[in-house]
Amino acid sequence: MFITFEGIDGSGKTTQSKLLANHFKQIRGENNVVLTREPGGTNFAEKVRGVLLTNNIDSISELLLLISMRREHMKKLILPALAEGKIVICDRFIDSTIAYQGYGFGVDLKLIEDLHRLAGVRYPDITFILDIDVKVGLSRAKDKNKYEEMDVNFYNKVGKGFKEIAIKEPAISADSFTKFAKSAPEKPGVPLATVFTFTSGAIDIFFICVFNIFSRPFISGKEIVICRSKRPGLSSAGSKTSGRSLYITPLELKLEPSLNLPSMLWFFMTIFSTSLSSSLVKNSEKEEVLYRVKNIENTLKVLNQSQLNIEDKVEQMSLLEEIRHEIISHDAIKESLADALGNKKSANTQQLKLIERIHKSNSAVPINLVKSLSKAKVECQNLWKLSHSETSNLEKLKERFTDLIKLIREVASIKSQQLKCSKYDSLLADYDSDITEKNIREVFPKVGKFFSENVDKIIEKQKKDKVTNIQKVATQKQIELGSLCLQQMGIALNEIRTSYYYSIDYDESDFCYDLFSLLRHSGYAIYQKCLAQNSISSPITRHVMYETQGLFMERMIGTSREFIEFIQPHIKEKFAIKGKTNSSIENLYLVFNEINLSSSLKNTDEFSLLAHIMLRTKLEQDIINGTLEVKDLHDAWLEGMKHYKIPVKTENELDTYFQDEYWASGVMGYFPIKIIALIAAVQIFSFVKKNHYESLSAIIKGDFSLLISLFASDIAIDLGTANTLVYQKNQGIVLDEPSVVARVKEKGSYVPYAFGKKAKMMLGKTPGEIEAIRPLKDGVIADFKSAEEMLKYFIRSANTKFTVNKPNIIICVPSGSTPVERRAIQDAAESAGANEVFLIEEPMAAAIGAGLPVTEPEGSMIVDIGGGTTEVAIISLGGIVYSRSARVGGDIMDEAIKSYIRENHKLLIGETTAEKIKKSIGSASLPGENNKEGMIIKGRDLVSGMPKEMLLSEYQVAESLIEPVHQIISAIKTALESTPPELSSDIVDRGIILSGGGGLLRNLGKVISETTKLPVRVADDPLCCVALGSGKVLENMDYFSHVLFKQD
């Protein structure tokens, strides 16, 4: 991530860049953040800085010095840091040159742009331009240099330049944040610019403005996300830089008392609303703006948690819901969705479909119904809170809840018509479109059967086991134990949302209540920290994954014997439990797993939880479908609990369906998620215990690397004519198999019989009903069905671990393949079970795998000689400047050896023998006459038809390979002749890199070097270069996203 701060002297950019850098260093570590400046950043540039700031030189000379310094800065510091995945924050960059030299001194703007393009300067990912009153800024400026001699008119020109730059950017802006936040005008005119205007007293609220205006605001006062504006940023190769999202937490801020939370949120939403339409139309990469629609939900959550009085809260929430509805229903959203979903390069189809579903269902709901529903939710929620302190409010709550249910039914009816699904499915779709009433009908009866068959048995067993209950433990002692447990597990309490930690209801009669609560929220923390960004593409979506992690840590890890063995000494020490029996591991295991059926959700054990979810889901369905009314809900609840044999202690509805806030706040359709999450948690735990038992203790001690890897099944595939290699994320190369399929004929058609090594052993040796084939020829698919089945097998073989994700797949294609051939490869991978498929050209992958500096403004030449094709490419600035694909490779060499022996010695040999000859005595150059090297080969005599053996010399093999080697050299020479002069000089210095199995042919590098007069070397691991390169892209998709594409 490359971030720049811009603005006139005294605007605060230096201070803010330091603050942000220090903050990231705390999060990512000192060595993962680079803070630099311009002019400066390198030894050469710092010297130039001294010249620029102290000497009066003409503006053109100054510009040339600046750009030469910037090129050096990029080459020596910025690009290497970005290549290592570091965050680079720069105080001033290109925009300062445009503003000062262009607008201030009048240098031609096109000249500045052309010179930057010629220098190959990379544009930043996000730029913050701080705009401040010129006089205020100059009074704040600390640096004294030649610019202090300039008058206010000069700085006004510079300030205008910065604003002009920002206005050209398709981004959302906040013009005079303080003014709008305080006055909250009805329809402020907000320009489209990344400019933040402050008075001298308001600069401290800069980060609140920046962090919130771009995307979602506070979540429990901690996590904040900003999404950068899209800058086109042309490189010297003319390619566009792609957008990124930056996930950070806020710095310590000073907020003026007058800027209260509601007015701030109102301001952010108004900015978003008024500029959305233009932003969508102008933004060439519209998906990022579309994601913000989903993030509006978080703004509402913040306001919902605020301590406003009920009248203000109803008004504010209603206003925000209205704005949200206006945005989601906007025609621009519909148009942008159509464009984005039609864009095959989109990496976020799942997210787009989610937003499409939200748009489709919500846009049909009339605005008056949206406002009425919002008001009813807030009022019900407020009455529910009041009812706990004064039960006289309960009747009012039931009346208002009846109105709320009518509104929810009306909304569900409208949404179901739009989505063409049942009313209850339309509510479920707000959380997870894959969970439907059909799924519930399939899963819940099995869960109910399990419950009824086992609950009595377990309770009876508990009686026989004679659980010895632990004495009551004071709340403070529970907190101490919970804190100690998490610290021992390596989970810092600050990773768990503070609001959760302090709001836990402690139960002195249940000494592990606090421990389980903290374990659950540590699971949520694992999700938020490690899994949240990946699970959007999972069949099990965010809400389910969030609950799964909490339940996994609480219900699975927390009740395991292994965890109890780990925690027992601390329990014994903290609680001073008397008696060996009470504190024994066996007794603690029974206590931790004791079943006490409860009608209270917060006190549920594993079995009670199942009953609660099944009952609440059934009641929700009946309420939404109109077969159950609110007046009968209390009795229906009691009857349901009786059915599950759960005793109920109840005085009124606050002990039944109003015992928690879910229904009172209008949340319906969420409970089925919990049962799917519990099933997933059980499956994950069972898998870990069965297949990775040694890792269980690591999880207990806070090492979640295995747990995280279970959800990261993404792979990169080098689908070669000869061999297929699979690279798995976080694992490396996990499969290397021949690209061969053996198939057997059944009922007139062929079905797969064997794959890979097993199938290759059958080449030329199969009986009549079985044939062994290569599904790929010349690097592209020749037999689609066989290729699809082979890919399925390799994906399953590589992914031996448990996973809830369909993998995202990066797959390599020859640079010379046609769109039809590329589409066939993409379709085969999708059919094989991929979630999303991305393509990468083989020479680019090979270059990255060989360690070439592909992102630098220098030329690199890669020659990748595979089984079916030879890929020759010139690469610079992350793009392929020139490529040539010749359909010659290792297989052609094998065929040339076979043909030579057949024609000259009347001996027929097989493919495997030819490959063995090539690897043993093959050479790209003819050996001397005195060379007697050779090998005994065996085959069938074409004259007699009998088996025969003969001595084959190295000279003869080299002679057979003359034509394939000539074709490879011809492709290389053609590429060199087409290379731009600027890059040719780089290749002279850097030379040619050989990769692929063909690159291992003896003396090939020597022959190429003699022909081209250039240095040639073989990559360190030529057979795996393409797989390793595509794997590196997989591990760093944000950085390398520009090299990936999809085929229409």
Average pLDDT over the chain reads 74
Nearest to 646 by CA among 584, 601, 712, 700: 601
**pLDDT per residue over 143-190, tens digit each?**
545 455 567 888 889 988 887 877 665 443 333 333 333 333 333 332
**pLDDT per residue over 997-1022, tens digit each?**
999 999 999 999 999 999 999 999 99
**pLDDT per residue over 885-918, tens digit each?**
888 999 999 999 999 999 999 999 988 899 999 9
Q: Mean per-residue pLDDT for 312-333?
A: 68
Give yes or no for a contact between 101 and 107, defined as CB atoms under 8 angstroms apart. yes
The CB density around residue 84, as the number of other CB atoms within 10 Å, is 12
Question: In the numeric block, which tokens belong to residue 660?
Answer: 């928690």
CATH number at residue 552: 1.10.1370.30
| Residue of 906 and 506 predicted with greater confidence | 906
Q: Point out the least confidently predicted range of 246-260, 797-811, 830-844, 906-920.
A: 246-260
Q: Mark residue 732 as left, alpha or beta (left: phi above 0; alpha: psi -120 to 50; beta: remaining).
A: left
In terms of domains, do 414 and 449 share one? no
Question: Which of 155, 173, 191 is the endpoint of a domain?
Answer: 173
Does 535 fall in a domain?
yes
pLDDT for the residue numbered 4:
84
In terms of domains, do 540 and 679 share one? yes
Residues making up the chain, counted from first to last? 1048
Does 477 fall in a domain?
yes
Between the ranges 453-457, 925-929, 957-961, where is the mean pLDDT highest? 957-961
In terms of domains, do 518 and 381 share one? no
Q: Which domain holds residue 897?
A: 886-1018
Does 344 fall in a domain?
yes
Tell me whether residue 944 is exposed, middle or buried, using C-beta atoms within 10 angstroms of its C-beta: 0 to 12, 13 to 18, 19 or more: exposed
Q: Point out the least confidently predicted range of 567-576, 585-594, 608-617.
A: 567-576
pLDDT for the residue numbered 560:
84
Q: How many domains does the structure of the chain reveal?
A: 4
CA distance 664 to 385: 9
Q: CA–CA distance from 319 to each of 261, 265, 651 (Å)?
A: 14, 11, 38
In terms of domains, do 82 and 124 share one? yes
Q: Mean per-residue pLDDT for 945-974?
A: 93
| pLDDT > 90? residue 593 | no
- Report residue 192's pLDDT band, with 50, 70 and 90 as the boundaries: very low
In terms of domains, do 416 and 444 share one? no
pLDDT for the residue numbered 198:
32
pLDDT for the residue numbered 556:
82
In terms of domains, do 7 and 40 share one? yes
| pLDDT > 60? residue 743 | yes
| pLDDT > 90? residue 305 | no
Does 215 fall in a domain?
no
| pLDDT > 80? residue 374 | yes
CATH number at residue 17: 3.40.50.300
In terms of domains, do 327 and 360 share one? yes
CA distance 301 to 222: 13
Question: Which of 118, 153, 173 is the endpoint of a domain?
Answer: 173
| Residue of 183 and 883 predicted with greater confidence | 883
Does 494 fall in a domain?
yes
pLDDT for the residue numbered 640:
93
The DSSP bridge partners found for residue 132 are 198
| Residue of 177 and 116 predicted with greater confidence | 116
| Residue of 279 and 392 predicted with greater confidence | 392
In terms of domains, do 1007 and 953 share one? yes
| pLDDT > 60? residue 44 | yes
Does 633 fall in a domain?
yes
Q: Mean per-residue pLDDT for 828-837?
A: 81
pLDDT for the residue numbered 213:
33
The CB density around residue 1039, as the number of other CB atoms within 10 Å, is 19
CA distance 34 to 808: 31
pLDDT for the residue numbered 202:
29
Does 711 fall in a domain?
no
| Residue of 249 and 397 predicted with greater confidence | 397
**pLDDT per residue over 691-719, tens digit each?**
777 777 777 766 666 666 665 578 999 99
Q: How many CA atoms lie within 13 A of 286 on its CB side?
A: 21
The DSSP bridge partners found for residue 872 are 863, 884
| pLDDT > 70? residue 580 | no
Over pLDDT 90: what percentage of the chain? 25
Nearest to 885 by CA among 824, 814, 825, 976: 814
pLDDT for the residue numbered 257:
27
| pLDDT > 90? residue 617 | yes
- Report residue 479's pLDDT band, with 50, 70 and 90 as the boundaries: low
pLDDT for the residue numbered 816:
82
In terms of domains, do 443 and 415 share one? no
pLDDT for the residue numbered 902:
94
In terms of domains, do 416 and 456 share one? no
| pLDDT > 90? residue 1029 | yes
| DSSP letter for each residue of 923-950 | BSSPPPTT---EEEEEEEETTT-SEEEE
The DSSP bridge partners found for residue 762 are none
- Report residue 488's pLDDT band, with 50, 70 and 90 as the boundaries: low
Predicted model pTM: 0.51
Does 795 fall in a domain?
no
Question: Which of 112, 141, 173 is the endpoint of a domain?
Answer: 173
**pLDDT per residue over 656-691, tens digit each?**
999 988 899 898 988 888 877 777 777 777 777 877
CATH number at residue 961: 3.90.640.10
**Residue in the block written with tokens 């490396």:** 732
Name the 3-class secondary structure at 716. strand
Give yes or no for a contact between 1045 and 839, defined as CB atoms under 8 angstroms apart. yes
**pLDDT per residue over 228-277, tens digit each?**
223 222 222 222 222 222 222 222 222 222 323 333 333 333 333 333 33
In terms of domains, do 534 and 638 share one? yes
CA distance 697 to 708: 15
Q: What share of the chain is helix, strand, coil (3-state, %, to 5)?
A: 55, 15, 30
Name the 3-class secondary structure at 648. coil
| Residue of 508 and 951 predicted with greater confidence | 951
| pLDDT > 90? residue 76 | no
Q: Point out the least confidently predicted range of 234-238, 413-417, 820-824.
A: 234-238
pLDDT for the residue numbered 487:
62
| DSSP letter for each residue of 107-121 | --HHHHHHHHHHHTP
pLDDT for the residue numbered 522:
67
In terms of domains, do 660 and 630 share one? yes
pLDDT for the residue numbered 991:
93
Q: Mean per-residue pLDDT for 12-39?
A: 80
The CB density around residue 984, as the number of other CB atoms within 10 Å, is 15
| Residue of 91 and 585 predicted with greater confidence | 91
- Report residue 413's pLDDT band, with 50, 70 and 90 as the boundaries: very high
